[in-house]
Structure 1
Amino acid sequence: MSGLDQRRVLVTGASGTFGRQLCAAFTAAGARVVGVDRQPGSIDGVPVLGCDLTDPATVPPVVAAAVDRLGGLDLLVNNAGVGGPAPAELPPDEVVRQQLEVNLLAAWRTTAAALPALEAARGRVVFVASRMALLPLPLAAAYGVSKRALVAYADALRHEVGTHVGVSVVYPSMVASPIHDSTADAGLSLEGVSRPEPVQGVVAAILRAATARRAPRDVATTRRGRLELAFARHAPTLADRLVRRTVATRIAAGDLDAAPLAAGMLRRHRDATG
């Protein structure tokens, strides 16, 4: 896939922050695009099929309808995702379950449904993960776990289908979007911990993954992102130390004092530091 003209593209989470921009960018590049989201409709002329990706029974027929509408499938972008606060020390709740369902299992079942068409076209699948897959942050365990598991799934898939279907993973950092609203409402904003980046850079990285002569394995969205991924892989102890130092600075500044979910971490930190 060296270009996108007349390529047949399916984008999940089409109505979200990334999804809308992706649909517009693929369309502008000449691709034929169908989106999937919870509510059916259209986005600037791109048809969006309604589907709850957490319902195993509804995904295969919706993917089949998209493939039929496009006349095949060259590219699947697994973009749908949700976030939310989830301390690792607390038992998993509905917030945790939803993140695992949407961020991991929905992408898994969508990919499985799309693979016959992708294989027939020698196509590609792109997974939108997160830098938190490799650089986990406290109080957001579910998101990091779901994205790290998504990367593991992509790696296994590449071994199974890589001779016929390209498999790439893109690693954005923090992008301003509603996905962070529930975390901010809980007093656990990532401000000062994760450096924001523009959505356009994430979209550009996904397009690079889609159009490179060979499907790249891992794609960072910024130069800083490449450095962070390298730190996480080759110097994990140093990466952990940097995260701990940043979190300690926020605790010392009182940024988490009003967050009930951070109470245990605050108590232990203050006990350890006297």
Structure 2
Amino acid sequence: MTDEFKGLAALVTGGASGIGLATATVLRDKGARVVVLDRAESASDGFELVRADVSDDTQVRSAVAAAVASLGGLDVLVNNAGIGAQGGVDANDDDEWRKVLDVNVLGLVRVTRAALPSLRRSEHAAIVNTCSIAATAGLPNRALYSASKGAVLSLTLAMAADLIAEGIRVNAVNPGTADTPWVGRLLDSAADPAAERVALEARQPHGRLVSAQEVAHAVAYLASPSAGSTTGTTLAVDGGMAGLRLRK
């Protein structure tokens, strides 16, 4: 535990489980006041929860306002809420495409838009978006999900360019396949869950799934005042998957 975030307030979307919960925990351990935004009925580990579906702008604005009021301001926004999709380019119908893009891309836009007035009043404003290895590497059966995360990657860069003059830093983390509840459900739905897990572990050069805590610590670095000269950057937490080509 440190006081790296002492005096700072953070909002983490999708913060009731997985990478979001791990991120909220790390930020709190480092001294931040933290509220989580999620569709869940409640948050674990004593976190205050504001409920919202990020696909609903009215809910988002109300939840962000409630979080800011409770926190007494806002310094850090972690846009982590998102959903997955499987299949090639012809596997998902138009409604599924709209749903995933609405949550993964427009959801990020809605939350950021609602949070910006408060972030503009902070001396240490930082936004960290949860992107994915799917944005930078061609993964099989992930066309829709990859498209949504590719948009998040480009949006991160555009936001960083737009907001740097206002002192707001914007970065993203690119996790590899992480050991989260969503991946757990994906494995459970496979014909052979054990074999599928082995395959997912093997495609990451370090030979295992990424932990939610590892991603959370990367988010904390990017959000920290210690990273004051880091903006418009994506930090891969993927066991080397994006850049390494190992001989077998």
> Is this a same-fold pair by TM over 0.5?
yes
Paired residue for 1:92? 93
- 1:175 to 2:175 alignment: no
Greater CA radius of gyration, 1 or 2?
1
Residues 92-111 of structure 1 aligned to structure 2 (within 5 Å):
92-111=93-112
Query: Residue 153 of structure 1 aligns to which amino acid in structure 2?
Result: L
1:180, CA displacement in angstroms?
A: 2.6
Out of 133, 147, 151, which is 1:131 matched to? 133
Task: Please identify which structure carries the higher helix content.
Answer: 1
Instruction: Return closer, same or farther for 1:138/1:20 CA change in 2, 3 Å cut-off.
Output: same
Residues 35-114 of structure 1 aligned to structure 2 (within 5 Å):
35-114=36-115
Pick which of 177-186 and 95-104 moved more.
177-186
Distance 2:128 2:191 in 1: 32
Contact 1:85 1:182 in 2 (8 A): no
Q: Secondary structure at the match of 1:120?
A: coil
Q: Secondary structure at the match of 1:110?
A: helix
Paired residue for 1:254? none
Instruction: Return closer, same or farther for 1:111/1:124 CA change in 2, 3 Å cut-off.
Output: same
Instruction: Return closer, same or farther for 1:56/1:191 CA change in 2, 3 Å cut-off.
Output: farther
Encode CA deviations 1:150-183: one digit per residue, 9 max, x unaligned.
Answer: 1111111111112221000101000122323554
Out of 199, 212, 228, which is 1:213 matched to? 228
Instruction: Return closer, same or farther for 1:191/1:81 CA change in 2, 3 Å cut-off.
Output: farther
Distance 1:186 1:199 in 2: 22
Contact 1:201 1:222 in 2 (8 A): no
Query: Residue 179 of structure 2 aligns to which amino acid in structure 1?
Result: A
1:17, CA displacement in angstroms?
A: 0.7
Distance 1:191 1:136 in 2: 19
Contact 1:86 1:95 in 2 (8 A): no
Distance 1:94 1:175 in 2: 27
1:91, CA displacement in angstroms?
A: 4.9
Contact 1:127 1:169 in 2 (8 A): yes
Count of aligned residue pairs for this structure pair: 230
TM-score when normalising by structure 2 = 0.84
Instruction: Return closer, same or farther for 1:223/1:84 CA change in 2, 3 Å cut-off.
Output: closer
Pick which of 126-135 and 40-49 moved more.
40-49
Paired residue for 1:166? 169
Out of 204, 210, 224, which is 2:240 matched to? 224
Out of 183, 192, 201, which is 2:199 matched to? 192
Instruction: Return closer, same or farther for 1:162/1:96 CA change in 2, 3 Å cut-off.
Output: same
Q: Secondary structure at the match of 1:224?
A: coil
Distance 1:187 1:158 in 2: 42
Contact 1:168 1:218 in 2 (8 A): yes
Contact 1:85 1:183 in 2 (8 A): no
Paired residue for 2:15? 14
1:129, CA displacement in angstroms?
A: 0.4
Gaps of 5+ in 2: none
Distance 1:15 1:96 in 2: 25
Paired residue for 1:263? none
Once the two structures are aligned, what percentage of the paired residues are identical? 30
Distance 1:155 1:127 in 2: 11
Instruction: Return closer, same or farther for 1:75/1:97 CA change in 2, 3 Å cut-off.
Output: same
Paired residue for 1:250? none
Q: Secondary structure at the match of 2:120?
A: helix
- The Cα RMSD (Å) is 2.4
1:28, CA displacement in angstroms?
A: 1.2
Instruction: Return closer, same or farther for 1:223/1:39 CA change in 2, 3 Å cut-off.
Output: closer
Encode CA deviations 1:197-239: one digit per residue, 9 max, x unaligned.
Answer: 22221111111111123234121225615xx2x57xxxxxxx8
Gaps of 5+ in 1: 232-238, 247-274
Distance 1:224 1:119 in 2: 35
Q: Secondary structure at the match of 2:138?
A: coil
Instruction: Return closer, same or farther for 1:165/1:100 CA change in 2, 3 Å cut-off.
Output: same
Query: Residue 68 of structure 2 aligns to which amino acid in structure 1?
Result: V
Instruction: Flag the structure with more relative contact order, 1 or 2, with Cα contacts below 8 A and sequence separation at least 6.
Output: 2
Distance 1:108 1:92 in 2: 23
Instruction: Return closer, same or farther for 1:99/1:186 CA change in 2, 3 Å cut-off.
Output: farther
